[in-house]
Structure 1
């Protein structure tokens, strides 16, 4: 089987979290865990996957296993926003482990790929079938993401759980991210 060559799209600079007071109630908010990893946008076109940092650097060579994300969407085109995480022996994200995959522009050897596997925790959908959907409300984008992804088809993809209807139980993660469910994404292009 021939390897697909990624297409160089302009990289999306994702909207970054800012520190603030938590909402007093869950009505109208999506709440999810903040994971310690590397923020990335993942472009999937014609079965090829290109991975960009939040600053627009192409790190597809650094995380070649993320090419497997394409299997989760079939023949669709998409730009995902998410977090690249390396998990420890207990299955929890570990930023310290992820740092072993740096410097960013190198291709990791088989031993490093085996010892420090990564996954993409997708939490937003920025484009679908070559259409920018960042002006859609987050709740709509999230519904499209959930409907698009067949997670069982990709061993390197997880969809981050966004909840607005109940409290998240403490799990030792580094914090919570809250989003206005009716909010739009204010991304820009870099690279």
Structure 2
């Protein structure tokens, strides 16, 4: 039985007044709805795709029948941190990559719809479940969003989620009762190539590189005025330029191949 999950609003800084909120760690994984209706354990993505067959270790969890959980499926690397690349490998192969379902909410418990309970009361129901290495509850604190987010940035984690502790669960609804604050660091990069057929700018520094797929109109005008002065060569796909033009880029994370994940142009750096 699939229930479309409650969705989050994005914010860009911690709340000044967060005493009515709980703060959870935002995990770098895939949102999953787990159902045990009809004596069968099923895993669904938020698009209602059944992925139960990919994770047989979840089927034997000691969960009560007719229960529905909301959580994040993550793959754990050697250091114990969530790793999205590892999770994608696990989706596409049958290798032994350790996964966990980190549970943060419960919609049905033993056949009863409890979405009309307040969040803290639903958390108390979650405490009644049996957990193991594959199924763990998310840790949370009341308030302290700024302190929590500073730790997230220091440890280079995904972000935080703030939830009104008196809120109800609204399936398939984006409510301001649930807020996400994503850790998106920024850095200086040099333009090194321009993609020809489909717009794209290759940017890099000494450590990593990435592909920018969009840019504000005013920034594009500055690019087209100056890049021709720095062309070194070209091929069928790219025009290559000297690393002279610099820009600030915001990104979500850095992959194991030293590529930027979800890079976004901020501005040109002009001397």
The answer, yes or no, to whether TM exceeds 0.5 is: yes
> Residue 165 of structure 2 corresponds to which residue in structure 1?
181
Q: Does 1:160 align with 2:138?
A: yes
Structure 1 range deviating more: 154-163 or 40-49: 40-49
Q: Which structure: larger Rg?
A: 2
> Residue 141 of structure 1 corresponds to which residue in structure 2?
122
1:89 pairs, out of 78, 101, 108, with 78
Structure 2 unmatched runs, 5+: 174-271
> Residue 131 of structure 1 corresponds to which residue in structure 2?
112
Q: Does 1:50 align with 2:42?
A: yes
RMSD (Å) for aligned C-alpha atoms: 2.0
Distance in 1 (CA, whole Å) between partners of 2:138 and 2:36 is: 18
Matched ranges for 1:6-25 at <5 A? 9=1, 11-20=2-11, 21-25=13-17
> Residue 39 of structure 1 corresponds to which residue in structure 2?
31
The Cα of 1:54 is off from its aligned counterpart by 0.6
Distance in 1 (CA, whole Å) between partners of 2:79 and 2:38 is: 35
Structure 1 unmatched runs, 5+: 1-8
- Return the structure number with greater relative CO, CA threshold 8 A, min gap 6: 1
Instruction: Please list the CA deviations of residues 121-142 of structure 1 after superposition, one character each: whole Å capped at 9, or x if unmatched.
Output: 0000111111111121111111
Distance in 1 (CA, whole Å) between partners of 2:36 and 2:16 is: 37
The structure with more strand, counted as a fraction of residues:
2
Aligned to 1:158, the other structure's residue is in SS state: strand
Distance in 1 (CA, whole Å) between partners of 2:121 and 2:31 is: 21
Structure 1 range deviating more: 124-133 or 15-24: 15-24
| TM-score, normalised via structure 1 length | 0.79
1:79 pairs, out of 68, 72, 79, with 68
Q: How many residue pairs align between the two structures?
A: 166
